[in-house]
Homo-oligomer: A and B are copies of this chain.
Amino acid sequence: MKFHAAMMPCVSRYTGRMFQTRRFQHCPVCGGQIEYRIPADDNRERATCTVCGTIQYENPLNVVGTLPVWGDQVLLCRRAIEPRLGKWTLPAGFMELGETLAQGAQRETDEEAGVQIEMQDLYCVMNVVRVGQVHLFYRARMLAPDCDPGPETLEARLFHEHEVPWDELAFHTVRYALERFFEDRRRGQGFPLHTADIA
């Protein structure tokens, strides 16, 4: 999961409960000065060009990934990049234009872990309001135990449940998805969709 500087002003975009986004100083269309004001037909401040009047909207983004399973083991990747360099994550990243949620999740799995998978059902949908993201994870069946991690990953390996490095996980959403997976597996009644709001 690669977080670009331009996409991660999120933590500082909040002051308490007040969301303060100030990504735009200049208009992407004409280069004119931006002011944040509430348009006539709206109820939120928007980046509005003082020259050409164009309005820029800023909205939450989807992070898509998989929970790859081989037998009774799950695959985790150790991050080679910030944030959370050195911590363990499920393969995931920002959904791109031109792809579906599942295609994005499969692409990220290929890029970060280099494993062959069969995509399964959408499994966890998690709001991370604080950073303006929705994380959507699919279960995936690994077709072979081999992996070939890309440059964003230090190492990728399979873990039995008792081996999972719970204190070394990169993101709360990764912990949530793994916890639900092991619970559902113990219960033995399938893997229903889980939704959650992650603080």
Contacts and interface: CB of A to CB of B under 8 A. Distances in A.
Given A25-B29, A62-B134, A193-B122, A6 B56 contact: yes
User: Chain A's interface: helix, strand, loop or mixed, by majority?
Assistant: loop
Interface in A3-23: 4, 6-7, 13, 19, 21, 23
Contacts of A34: 28
A101 B6 contact: no
Contact of A57 (B4, B25, B101): B4
A98 B19 contact: yes
A178 B96 CA distance: 28
Interface stretch (A66-74, A125-133, A140-148, A166-174): A125-133
A197 interface: yes
Contacts of A21: 97
A21 B27 CA distance: 17
Contacts of A132: 97-98
Contacts of A19: 97-98
A31 B48 CA distance: 14
Contacts of A28: 23-28, 34, 47, 56
- For the complex of A and B, the 8 pairs showing the least CB-CB separation, nearest first, are A26-B31, A100-B127, A19-B98, A31-B31, A24-B28, A97-B132, A193-B193, A59-B61
Given A59-B94, A98-B129, 6 more contacts: A6-B54, A26-B30, A31-B31, A59-B62, A99-B129, A101-B195
6 contacts: A6-B54, A7-B57, A31-B32, A59-B95, A100-B127, A101-B134
